[in-house]
Amino acid sequence: MTQIDPRAFVSPSAKLGNCVQVGAFAVVGDDVELGDGCVVDPHAVIQGPSKFGRKNRFFSFSIVGGDPQDLTYTGQRVRLEAGDENEFREFCTVHRGTIKGGGVTRLGNHNLIMAYAHIGHDCCIGDHVILTNGAQLAGHIVVEDYAGISSFCLFHQFVRIGRHCYIGAGTIITQDVAPFSLIVGDRETRCFGINKVGLERHGFSPERIRVIEQAYRYLLRSKLNTSQAVDKMRETLAESEDVQSLIRFIESTTERGLTK
């Protein structure tokens, strides 16, 4: 049974599924659609047009579905779409898309957006992504599945973050981050190898990890340039789907280049 605190505001145009809970002083705005089992804590704000799947949780003082921070936005009808079982923690912000960026910001399933984190307009977030406290995504960023982003990382617009990578706290990202990689900003931002602990936690076998490590040896520690390293991967590791996905990512890297 849906429960709405009498002190909350729910727009007449909002659509609430079964067993939705809305706490005191929360705001569910115009054209917001909440799937079954969503929980909106006291003082949380959800703006639309936006659509959420099942069992999403909006913690107090989160603001999800706000207007994009873009000077070209003048009230156009743009959207936020999210899947199931995402958590939006205290004071995080997630903005809708812009017309020039396709009109929609997207999140998949089982993502954890921690306190004070920000997802800008037109971002596309996969599944099982962790965005830790204070991490900041500019607009038009793609984050693939199982990426782990630590506190206070800053991301330039249009970069892509590959699946199963881990980015250490306080890192500034201005180039694409390859899948499976471990990135830490020291004096300069560079790749230190693969995210081995994260891959083990997600069930990658030792053999599967060994093959990915070999691919990264070609990429980072050999005297080969990036194109030559890719050719070497194809020559010796072509049977690995993980390596094939790494190659596809590298070959489609944007003009901003690849973090190495």
3-state secondary structure the chain: CCEECCCCEECCCCEECCCCEECCCCEECCCEEECCCCEECCCCEECCCEEECCCCEECCCCEEEECCCCCCCCCCCCEEEECCCCEECCCCEEECCCHHHCCEEEECCCCEECCCCEECCCCEECCCCEECCCCEECCCCEECCCCEECCCCEECCCCEECCCCEECCCCEECCEECCCEEEEECCCEEEEEECHHHHHHCCCCHHHHHHHHHHHHHHHHCCCCHHHHHHHHHHHHCCCHHHHHHHHHHHCCCCCCECC
Kindly give the parts of the chain with pLDDT less than 70: 187, 254
Give one word for 166, left, alpha or beta, with left for phi > 0 and alpha for psi -120 to 50: beta
- For 190-200, the pLDDT digits (tens) are 788 899 999 99
Q: Write the class of the CATH domain 3-140.
A: mainly beta
The per-residue pLDDT for 81 is 98
pLDDT at 191: 83
Distances (CA, A) of 174 to 58, 161, 177: 30, 11, 9
Q: Look at residue 187 in the predicted model and tell me its pLDDT.
A: 59
Q: Return the pLDDT at 259.
A: 83
- Tell the burial category of 86 from Cβ atoms under 10 Å away from its Cβ (0-12, 13-18, 19+): buried
The edge-to-edge listing of strands for the beta sheet with 189-194 is: 3-4, 21-22, 39-40, 57-58, 87-88, 112-113, 130-131, 148-149, 166-167, 181-185, 189-194
Cα 32 from Cα 16, distance rounded (Å): 8
pLDDT at 185: 83
Give residue limits of the domains in the chain. Answer: 3-140, 199-251
Q: Tell me which residues are annotated as active site.
A: 121-122, 139
| β 130-131/181-185 pair status | unpaired
Kindly indicate whether the domain formed by 199-251 is annotated with CATH number 1.20.1180.10. yes
| pLDDT of res. 34 | 98
